[in-house]
Structure 1
Amino acid sequence: MSNTRPRMTHLFEQLGLDASESAIESFMESHQLDAHVSLLDAEFWSAGQRQFLAEKIKSDGEWALVVDQLNESLHENSVK
């Protein structure tokens, strides 16, 4: 069992996305969500990615914190 705390790079790897710092930054900038769109309802996720994110949120563990960080970053420019 790994004692490594999940990070955003790990999350992107698990989602099958480019996990380089520049790719993560680019993803965050180009996939901003409106305030009324939940992370799990974003149209750009595949069914598998959506399921993975939902499981990690439900687990309420360390992965949930990273997913929450992703959610906040994707709503950073949203207007409420």
Structure 2
Amino acid sequence: KCSQSSCSRQYYFVNVLKSWDGAQKYCRENYTDLATIDNKEEMNRAFKTARGTFYGKAWIGLYDDLTSWKWSLNNATILGGFQS
């Protein structure tokens, strides 16, 4: 899933098998980046993008930086749970 950063995020589902790095590269070349999900409402919106067409696993922009979890788009450190 890819997101475009603006006042409201827009999610795109790309049904192509790729590694995390490959998916990130594809999203950065065609959209903005892998999906950044800040809260449960955004998570539900992202799920709805692929509902009915895909029942597997998909990449998002969250990654483990050895010392903390970060989002690939803005490098914001995740301190635990969703931000309010």
Give the number of the structure whose residues are more often helix, by fraction. 1
Give the number of the structure whose residues are more often strand, by fraction. 2
TM-score normalised by length of structure 2: 0.28
The higher relative CO (CA closer than 8 Å, separation ≥ 6) is in 1
TM-score normalised by length of structure 1: 0.29
